[in-house]
Structure 1
Amino acid sequence: MNMSDQALALDGLSPLDEGAFGFPERVRYLKQFGTHSQSFSTLQPGMQYFDLPGIGYIGYMRKWGGTFVLSDPVCAPGNFAVILEKFHTRFPNACYIQVSKRVVDFLHLRFGLFGTQFGSESRIHLKDWSLSGKKKQILRTALNQAEKNGITVKERFSDDHTREISDAWIRTRKCKSKEIRFLIRPMEMDYRENERHFYAYQDGKAVGFIYFDPIYRDNEIVSYVPNISRANADFRQGIFYTLMAHAIGVFKAEGVPSLDLGLLPLSLDQVTEHQESRLLKRILHGLYEKGNFLYNFKGLEFTKSRFRGDSFKTYCCHRRTIPALEFLAMFKLTRLL
């Protein structure tokens, strides 16, 4: 028994092995505690797991000897400290990507890690959301144009020209070689329970789609997040808005409380918090301004901002002031490079 396992035993917790949970058990934790927008993505292919019996799990990937955690731990927020303490003992140099302020505060105060803003997320409260208002004119315009072009939207759980649309869409992107992974879960997953698929059609043929992943609390779906979206190159500007507006209407009618819009990478607050790396944040600001050749940061932020959701910060936690090698490894892991 190693030191970390001894500590677990002293705390009254069973010594763990990585990947100790069976898949159904991990799904049970997801449905009870999967409140983060990327909790569902922790079940993507290639993920490794740090399982703590009776508590929950942390999903992570490794690249070039580095360890990269995705999202908050899938456990009760009151147990974040317990599982993060154990995880840090085993992986003291890990980076934590797209985590909440609650995770940042613990890792900074307990272990001295930096917690630097990585981007923003946005959430729509569906009960009060509508298409009215001056600031949503672009959404109404997109819907009118779609109607004029004979675009209709249907919810279907099928493979309707999905790969054909996706491959054509990827060829129009900044990163043309492969689908991004880790930060965006891959389109094809073994686990697909409660995914929602909405397709846009013209003349009977699918021309775009969005896959929505469920967000859980206490075994109830409390939100969805659009993790996969693709469109025929001829309809890049309007199809996303049209699909989203239709899905929002469906979710609202079902009584789903909210819709999360997911990560806006490098959408940063100008104010630097005390636990942030000032130098790293300055670099990230510069990458947002000058790095659109790598990824369409500004375009994504503009598109999602049209839905007028409530924004909140998401962070990365790191040991060094400038985690250059770690970020390079992460970009390779995600296939951005």
Structure 2
Amino acid sequence: MENYRKYGSFTMAYSIKADPHFSHFSHEKGSIAYQDRLGVRIFVGDPFCRTCDAPAVINAFIKESRLLRRPLVGMQCSLDTARLFSDQGFDATHMGVETLILNDWSIKGKNVGRRIRKAHKKGLTVTEARWDSDASLPEQATAISEAWRQTRKTKTPLNLLLREPTFRDEPDERTFFAWLDGTLVGYVTFEAMYDHHQTIGWYANINRRDDSRNIAIFDAIVDVALECFKAEPGFKVLSLGLAPMAGRHNDHGFSNRLVERVSDLSYKYGNDGYNYKGIFQSKKGYWPKSFEQNPNQVEVRDTYCITRGSVPLDPVAKAFMGVGILPEGLAHTAWFATRMTVAGMWREFRRTSRSNLVTFWKGLTASL
């Protein structure tokens, strides 16, 4: 895909290129990747084009989708893309933050540093290797992946937003493996980010590990990989990916209030269904204590969910079903969301309050 190597500077660019389920809206000035799921057109990330050409590409994409009567839902879009859709009457609601490690990042003074040092002291070693360098690697990695999946709160893969491992070498991918006492305990596959055919960074997308080891396998791999990447010409950024629903601080005036409310409730009370808070805290460990004193170490990039209409719950729910965050079927989704929210609110109530059930019920009905 020519546009990927020319304009693939955003986190999701390689995943879009590598996933055969994505279709591509083509325009003379660029393209937009999308999937049609459950009657909804879902697009991810940003247009593949020059910044100055993005308005024309987006406008043509909207026009075609309207002609086909496909409601549009965008996910993990940048602020620039959000603004362009807002100009066309769409809402753009904050859907989480990406943590991007920059060239000047140092382990010194970071919360993650203690975890990395502890892992190395326990004997963890990290090496970059090809999948075909050892015939047993794919089998070992498959076993780790299957065991890892069973420890997740969401057992089904998150389609569109995360890729599944292929256990083979691919262009624009690099994999680092973690070993403990001669046993494979984890691996991370990084995907290339491009700007005008120059590799400018890597995205730590596929992350599998043996959590029973109780050490920071992912963090240790990132630390070693980062040192390798920083030594290479053109490197600017290593993306740790999205922390969904986390970090909202500014809606820029084009947020959908209903989607915003659902997002806030999901982050605060929905952790039985998806580990929103755990993912955010893990990535936050890479942040400096002061961004002002360390301006070139980490960029925290807001991402947005694009919707249209004051009550876009049906297309948003279907989009989240297509991604894999929600179970298919509106009845199943409603029950799942209600159960997770009430369970989370009850747990929070028991942790922070000595009041009775009447107080809990009032708080529940006020939130909903």
Provide TM-score, normalisation by structure 2. Answer: 0.79
* Structure 2 counterpart of 1:171: 150
* Structure 1 counterpart of 2:27: 52
CA distance 1:156–1:189, shift in 2 (3 Å) = closer
Q: Which consecutive residues of structure 2, in runs of 5 or more, have no partner in the other structure? A: 132-136, 288-297, 328-368
* Structure 1 counterpart of 2:185: 207
The 8 Å contact of residues 215 and 222 in structure 1, kept in 2 or not, is answered as: yes
Q: How far apart, in 2, do the equivalents of 1:325 and 1:212 lie? A: 34
* Structure 2 counterpart of 1:72: 46
Mean Cα deviation higher: 74-83 or 180-189: 180-189
Q: Give the letter aligned to residue 52 of structure 1.
A: H
* Structure 2 counterpart of 1:131: 107
3-state SS of 1:198 partner: strand
How far is 1:214 from its partner? 0.7
Q: How far apart, in 2, do the equivalents of 1:279 and 1:189 lie? A: 41
Q: How far apart, in 2, do the equivalents of 1:263 and 1:174 lie? A: 17
Q: How far apart, in 2, do the equivalents of 1:254 and 1:299 lie? A: 32
How large is the Cα RMSD of the aligned pairs?
1.8
Matches of residues 54-203 of structure 1 in structure 2 within 5 Å? 55-92=29-66, 93-109=71-87, 111-126=88-103, 128-133=104-109, 136=110, 138-158=111-131, 159-160=137-138, 161-176=140-155, 178-188=156-166, 192-203=170-181
CA distance 1:230–1:189, shift in 2 (3 Å) = closer
Q: How far apart, in 2, do the equivalents of 1:188 and 1:170 lie? A: 15
Q: How far apart, in 2, do the equivalents of 1:219 and 1:91 lie? A: 30
The 8 Å contact of residues 100 and 313 in structure 1, kept in 2 or not, is answered as: yes
Q: Pick the aligned partner of 1:313 from 302, 305, 313.
A: 302
3-state SS of 2:247 partner: coil
How far is 1:56 from its partner? 2.3
3-state SS of 1:192 partner: coil
* Structure 1 counterpart of 2:332: none
Paired residues in the alignment total 304
How far is 1:175 from its partner? 1.2
CA distance 1:236–1:41, shift in 2 (3 Å) = farther
CA distance 1:320–1:301, shift in 2 (3 Å) = same
How far is 1:189 from its partner? 9.0
3-state SS of 2:231 partner: helix
Q: What percent identity do the matched residue pairs reach?
A: 27
CA distance 1:231–1:192, shift in 2 (3 Å) = same
Q: Pick the aligned partner of 1:285 from 264, 267, 273.
A: 264
Q: How far apart, in 2, do the equivalents of 1:271 and 1:76 lie? A: 26
Q: Pick the aligned partner of 1:241 from 219, 233, 236.
A: 219
How far is 1:237 from its partner? 4.5
The 8 Å contact of residues 198 and 247 in structure 1, kept in 2 or not, is answered as: yes
The 8 Å contact of residues 223 and 257 in structure 1, kept in 2 or not, is answered as: yes
1:332 matches 2:321: yes
1:264 matches 2:243: yes
How far is 1:301 from its partner? 0.6
The 8 Å contact of residues 123 and 258 in structure 1, kept in 2 or not, is answered as: yes
The 8 Å contact of residues 168 and 233 in structure 1, kept in 2 or not, is answered as: no
* Structure 1 counterpart of 2:2: 28
Q: How far apart, in 2, do the equivalents of 1:285 and 1:197 lie? A: 35
3-state SS of 1:242 partner: helix
Q: Give the letter aligned to residue 318 of structure 2.
A: A
* Structure 2 counterpart of 1:10: none
Q: Give the letter aligned to residue 225 of structure 2.
A: A
Q: Give the letter aligned to residue 172 of structure 1.
A: T
CA distance 1:219–1:189, shift in 2 (3 Å) = farther
The 8 Å contact of residues 38 and 322 in structure 2, kept in 1 or not, is answered as: no
Partner deviation per Cα, 1:221-270 (whole Å, 9 max, x = no partner)? 11111111010121355111111111111111224122122111101324
The 8 Å contact of residues 280 and 321 in structure 1, kept in 2 or not, is answered as: no
The 8 Å contact of residues 104 and 317 in structure 1, kept in 2 or not, is answered as: yes
Q: How far apart, in 2, do the equivalents of 1:165 and 1:236 lie? A: 14
Q: How far apart, in 2, do the equivalents of 1:234 and 1:217 lie? A: 39
How far is 1:173 from its partner? 0.2
Partner deviation per Cα, 1:13-54 (whole Å, 9 max, x = no partner)? xxxxxxxxxxxxxx211001101110111121311111224x
The 8 Å contact of residues 268 and 285 in structure 1, kept in 2 or not, is answered as: no
CA distance 1:258–1:114, shift in 2 (3 Å) = same
